[in-house]
Amino acid sequence: MKHLPAFIDLKDRSVLVVGGQAMACRRTAMAQRAGARVTVVAPQLSPDFGNLRTPFVHQARTFEAADLAGVVLVFVACEEDPDYESRVAKRAGGQDVLVNVADRADISTFIMPSIVDRSPIVVAISSGGEAPILARMLRARLESLVPAALGKLATFAGTYRDRVKEVIPDVQRRRRFWERMAGGAVAESIYSEQPDTAKSLMADMLEAAKSDREAAPTGEVYLVGSGPGDPDLLTFRALRLMQQADVVLHDRLVPEEILELVRRDADRIYVGKKQGDHSMKQEEISRTLVNLAKQGKRVLRLKGGDPFVFGRGGEEIEMLAAEGVAFQVVPGISAANGCAAYAGIPLTHRDHAQACVFVTGHAKEGELELNWQALVQPKQTVVVYMGLISLSQVMASFLAHGADPKTLVAVVDKGTRPGQRVVAGEIATIAQIVQAAELTGPAIVIIGSVVGLREKLEWYANTDRPVS
Ligand SMILES: C[S@@+](CC[C@H](N)C(=O)[O-])C[C@H]1O[C@@H](n2cnc3c(N)ncnc32)[C@H](O)[C@@H]1O
């Protein structure tokens, strides 16, 4: 190991920053985050320093040896004058003051790691100055893996430290207790901002520990939106919950590439719904969620798009709430947002649409119960979910309610997925064009002049366009 990893307590201690440009400002901010009192020595300061929220002392001149008096460490960042940097570093080194010169590990006595800050948890990564880019890449990976609220969990755990020690004196048992706490429902409640639930679960765990029992695992349900299909559109939280679930109930719209990201040994239950073919009735799905959670399982209910946009997610959690089962809802990118973005069609645009309406084209007993008057409005985009089968009916109703037959329409089939196809036309013609294109769905219909922007803004491969 080339350097000793260590975390230095800088609270109320003096730190010197030599330099007045952006990097010196970043060092100042970092030292201030650790509670240091910072003096900046530089003839002039860049405007970046104006954004610092914590006060610092500015000496508007060049470095003098006396600046080192009482200082714990020095940051030097004057890349415009490497000789000056070397002189300051030498002087600091001569007085045994720790010195870091930005991007010059060779003349530094300490180097700055890349950090993942979930205070009080902080991960520091160093390549010993050899390959900072690799350290930064690793950091980026960790940023996506470590829950943003890990720090909150650490603080929460800290408030229970003494109590847990008192109730469980044995070190081994205590370690197992903390492992269960950090990998289970208590941690999830903290991550999802439900501190009261976390406290009550912690009380149950401690009560069980007193009588030498292990609290029965607490089941919970994660209602997670998996987005329109591209696995890269999953949220960090969705992925984390997918990787810790014991069982997953998934829809027809969730593709295999996404299911493969669920914990390998999780049980899979297919509850897909296709028109006329309901593998499991809604009531049965909700009941299954409740039963599995009551058995202590972490149940992932994975839905295409967003669970609260034409996803019946609300109905599923109503039963959970009534039965007192803990749950959390993770939003997903809805098909409307995903398809519009991947088709190059902005849903709103200052020159075209100031409103956007999502409606369902699913006909109940052949009837579409929509407020057509409200849909046929200027400067508005209408997105029709489940509108492929009823497309000609929807278009006819638009026309019957006064829509301009030349209004642009796009149908996005398998949006955000490798086989995405975008077929465009006008209200009067689109149904025929779509029929000829033999789209298979899932597909979404976008109506409005924003569709015309696609000519300029299309970027994602569209299999309906010839590849040149
Ligand atoms: C039951 S709704 C579910 C909507 C989902 N909860 C959401 O937020 O996107 C199913 C409809 O969503 C649309 N849809 C879902 N994924 C799609 C995709 N990848 N491309 C186009 N449309 C999609 C289709 O209109 C499909 O019939």
Question: What's the CATH number where 250 sits?
Answer: 3.40.1010.10
Partners of 17 in the β-ladder: 40, 75
The label of the residue with tokens 């829509």 reads 403
144 within a domain of the structure (yes/no): no
Specify which residues 421 forms β-bridges with. 413
Q: For residues 54-70, give the mean pLDDT.
A: 97
Task: Note whether 365 and 407 are same-domain residues.
Answer: yes
Instruction: Report whether pLDDT(278) > 60.
Output: no
SS3 128: coil
- pLDDT at position 129 over 90: no
Let me know: does 439 contact 411? Beta carbons within 8 Å: yes
Choosing from 185, 210, 235, the residue where a domain stops is 210
Give 108's contacts (C-beta < 8 A, 6+ positions apart): 89, 99, 100, 101, 129
What is the total count of domains within the chain?
4
Any domain includes 419: yes
Whether 251 is a known active-site residue: answer: yes
Q: Do 93 and 154 reside in the same domain of the chain?
A: no
Residue 86 identity (one-letter amino acid): S
Q: Cα–Cα distances in Å, from 272 out to 243, 250, 254, 261, 365?
A: 21, 7, 9, 18, 21
Q: What is the pLDDT of residues 361-397, one digit of tens each?
A: 998 888 898 999 999 999 999 999 999 999 999 999 9
Last residue of a domain, one of 210, 229, 252: 210
Of these residues, 246, 251, 306, 413, which one is catalytic?
251
Instruction: Find out whether the beta carbon of 228 lies less than 6 Å from any atom of ligand 1.
Output: yes
Q: Of 161, 191, 210, which residue sits at a domain end?
A: 210
Res 366: pLDDT: 80
Q: Which is the catalytic residue, given 273, 294, 379, 404?
A: 273
The region of weakest confidence among 114-128, 222-236, 297-311, 450-464 is 450-464
Left, alpha or beta for 145 (phi > 0: left; psi -120 to 50: alpha)? Answer: alpha
The verdict on residue 281 lying in a domain is yes
Distance 334 CA to ligand 1 centre (A): 7
* 345 and 328 both lie in a single domain: no
Q: Report, as an integer, the average pLDDT of 396-401.
A: 96
β-pairing, 114-118 vs 121-125, is antiparallel
Predicted pLDDT at 216: 76
Query: Is 307 part of a structural domain of the chain?
Result: yes
328 lines ligand 1 (CB under 6 A): no
Q: What angle do CA 246, 249, 255 make, to 5 degrees?
A: 110
**432 pLDDT higher than 50:** yes
* CATH value at residue 82: 3.40.50.720
Inter-residue contact 455 to 348 (CB < 8 Å): no
Identify which of 371, 388, 391, 389 has the alpha carbon closest to the alpha carbon of residue 380. 371
Residue 311 CB less than 6 A away from ligand 1:
yes
Q: What is the mean pLDDT of residues 112-124?
A: 93
Q: Atom of ligand 1 at shortest distance to CA of 387?
A: 25
Q: For residue 18, what are the β-bridge partners?
A: 41, 76
Alpha-carbon torsion, ordered 147, 150, 152, 154, to 10 deg: 170
Q: Which atom of ligand 1 is nearest to the CA of 307?
A: 6
Whether 319 shows a pLDDT value over 70: the answer reads yes
State the chain's mean pLDDT as an integer.
93
197 occurs within a structural domain: yes
Q: What's the pLDDT score for residue 463?
A: 66
Whether 287 and 372 share a structural domain: no
Say if residue 312 is in the same domain as residue 341.
Answer: no
Q: Region 261-285: what's the mean pLDDT?
A: 83
> For ligand 1, what atom is nearest to the CA of residue 417?
19
- pTM attached to this predicted model: 0.81
404 φ/ψ sector (left φ>0, alpha ψ -120 to 50, else beta): beta
Domain assignment present for 463: no
Give φ, ψ of 320 to 5 degrees.
Answer: -60, -45
Statement to judge: residues 189 and 77 lie in one domain: no
Pocket lining: 386 vs ligand 1, CB cutoff 6 Å: yes
Residue 438 included in any domain: yes
Q: Angle, nearest 10°, between helix axes 282-294 and 313-322?
A: 40
The arithmetic mean of pLDDT across residues 107-123, rounded, is 94
* 385 and 299 share one domain: no
Instruction: Tally Cβ neighbours within 10 Å of residue 355.
Output: 14
Domain-located, residue 118: no
Whether pLDDT at 118 is above 50: yes
Quick one: 358 and 452 in the same domain?
yes
- The pLDDT of residue 468 is 44
Of 258 and 213, the one with more pLDDT = 258
> What distance in angstroms lies between residue 301's CA and the mean position of ligand 1's atoms?
16
pLDDT of residue 145: 85
Are both 22 and 96 inside the same structural domain? yes
**Cα 230 to ligand 1 centroid, rounded to whole Å:** 13
Q: Do 301 and 379 fall within a single domain?
A: no
The predicted model gives 98-103 an average pLDDT of: 96
Q: Ligand 1 centre and the CA of 35: distance in Å? A: 49
User: Do residues 104 and 45 both lie within one domain?
Assistant: yes
pLDDT on residue 361: 95
For residue 63, how far is the Cα from the chain centroid?
44
Mutation to probe ligand 1, out of 251, 385, 390 (largest number of atoms < 8 A from CB): 385
pLDDT at 214: 72
Confidence bin at 8 (pLDDT 50/70/90): very high
User: Is residue 342 located within the same domain as residue 436?
Assistant: yes
Ramachandran bin of 137, using left for φ above 0, alpha for ψ from -120 to 50, beta for the remaining angles = alpha
Q: Ligand 1: does its nearest atom lie under 6 Å from the Cβ of 385?
A: yes
Question: Omega into 378 within 30° of 0, i.e. cis?
Answer: no
**Residue 306 designated active-site:** no
Structural domain boundaries enclosing 420: 336-457
Check: CB of residue 208 under 8 Å from CB of residue 317: no
Distance 336 CA to ligand 1 centre (A): 8
Q: Which two tokens stand for residue 174?
A: 């205590």
Express each pLDDT in 204-229 by its tens digit: 999 999 887 777 777 899 999 999 99
The average pLDDT across 434-460 equals: 96
CATH of the domain at 189: 1.10.8
Per DSSP (E only), the strands in 332-441 are 355-360, 380-385, 408-413, 421-426
